[in-house]
Structure 1
Amino acid sequence: MGSERDVLRAVDARLARRLGELRAEHGWSLGELAERSDVSRSALSRAERGETSPTAAQLNRLCNVYGRTMSQLLSEVESEPVTVVRANEQSVWEDGASGFVRRSVSPPCPGLRGELVEGRLVAGADIAYDRPPVPGLEQHIWVLDGTLHFTAQDVEHHLAAGDCLRLRVWGPTRFRCPGPGDVRYALAVVLP
């Protein structure tokens, strides 16, 4: 019974932290949020400090203001993401036809906006994407070994080991390994 209480306390603490983060992301004062949500300023303050847990009605009003369902908000705080993703737990996907290997080093996780991927292309590999999975997706491409030619918005970037390209993706992209050897790169992806 004590451990269940501890779990509930931990969820309440994460909910308090997330409510504060959401308000800060919108740049609202407690007073502004109180006006928008019809939840008193003092109740908001206590909830963000973790002194009390908001009622279901208060949480519903806050979800409405933040454009989330209650399920979405609670899924963001139900459990802490795994802090260490062991190498043997990282999923690897291979497209043998194109010579592409993708390792999900830090996979997507509720409550986190970024992920980290290791990509490998064999010499001569050429992969084109007609659109990003999410418009405005932030990408950081850091070449670890070899040479990568990356094209976005009709501009080709020639990247060597150690180079890092940072951009938001709005349209087609292309990853090409000109050789002579393979290329290995880290790709950090952050949702807008």
Structure 2
Amino acid sequence: MRNENDKPLPPDAALAVRLTRLRQARGWSLEKLADKSGISRASLSRIERGETSPTAHVLGQLAAAYQMPMAALFSGLEDLGGDRVSRSDQQEWSDPQTGFRRRNVSPARTGYKGSVIEGTLPAGREVTYSDTPIPGLEHHLLLRSGRLEVVLGETSHVLEAGDCLRFKLTTGNSYRAPGPEDARYILCVIAP
């Protein structure tokens, strides 16, 4: 996303614009989105004005309210041009609460069902999503370094570097980096 001078917006500002446009395109008031997402109207307003950056948990709640993969919340933030996505076009976002970093390696795009992200979760930190945005959303997670515990409902999977976990989301989930080093992974998400 770009400003009126055709310069890229900072990631948090671009995300604020995208979230505002998503809500407005559905004709929803802030109150309606608050009811659907469980996020207070005041918090939603601050996020849309760019006064605060949403956490990964809040983005998960918004994705569930909109019934779309989280990657789609970030779509439209990049000026992609063709099929090649250069490193400089791969938008990065950081969770202000946990330090989780997310880079859109292959962002959600019209005509494609999947996206690829690179995630880095700092050692000792956890990101929890209370629900799945789309039941059956397919994931393929390759842990590149560190250790990562992925909890899907009542089932826990502890991954070591090089391990791959395939799953379809049907419930809330969480990711925890037990340490001692950060967990770095590649995640492919495919819409049903």
Q: TM-score range by the shorter chain?
A: 0.5 to 0.7
Shift of 1:117: 0.4
The residue aligned with 1:75 is: none
Contact 1:81 1:109 in 2 (8 A): no
Going from structure 1 to structure 2, the CA distance change for 1:81 and 1:188 (only over 3 Å counts) comes to farther
**Larger relative helix fraction:** 1
State the SS of the aligned residue for 1:167.
Answer: strand
Per-residue displacement from partner, 1:2-49 (whole Å, max 9, x unpaired)? xxxxxxxxxxxxxxxxxxxxxxxxxxxxxxxxxxxxxxxxxxxxxxxx
For 2:167 and 2:95, locate their aligned partners in 1 and report how far apart those are by CA, in whole Å.
25
TM-score, structure 2 normalization: 0.57
Residue 81 (structure 1) shift = 7.4
1:170 and 2:163 are equivalent in the alignment: no
Pair 1:159 & 2:159 matched: yes
Residue by residue over 1:107-133, the C-alpha shift from the partner in whole angstroms, topping out at 9 and shown as x without a partner, is 001110000000000011111101112
- Number of residue pairs aligned between Structure 1 and Structure 2: 113
Partner of 2:132: 132
**Structure label with greater radius of gyration:** 1
Separation in structure 2 between the aligned mates of residue 157 and residue 163 of structure 1, nearest angstrom:
10
Any conservation in 2 of the 1:106–1:117 contact (CA below 8 Å)?
A: yes
| CA deviation after TM superposition for structure 1 residue 151, in Å | 0.4
Match of 2:117 in 1: 117
Q: Which amino acid aligns with 1:189?
A: V
* Corresponding residue SS for 1:180: coil
- Report the TM-score when normalising by structure 1: 0.57
Give distance in 1, aligned partners of 2:102 and 2:164. 18
**Contact persistence 1:132–1:170 (CA under 8 A):** yes
**Partner Cα distance (1:107, 1:163) in 2:** 23
Q: Which residue of 2 aligns with 1:86?
A: 86
Moved over 3 A (4+): none
Q: Answer 1 or 2: higher relative contact order, Cα 8 Å, separation at least 6.
A: 2
- 2:186 is aligned with 1:186: yes
Task: Please state how far the C-alpha of 1:89 moved relative to its aligned partner.
Answer: 0.4
Give the drift of 1:83.
1.5
> What is the RMSD computed on CA atoms of the aligned residues?
1.4
Q: 1:96 deviation in Å?
A: 2.9
Distance in 1, matches of 2:142 and 2:92, equals 19
- Output the CA distance in 1 between the equivalents of 2:91 and 2:114: 16
Structure 1 Cα separation of the partners of residues 115 and 144 of structure 2: 17
- The 3-state SS of whatever aligns with 1:88 is helix
Aligned to 1:40: none
SS at match of 1:120: strand
* 2:97 is the counterpart of 1:97: yes
> What is the match of residue 65 of structure 2?
none
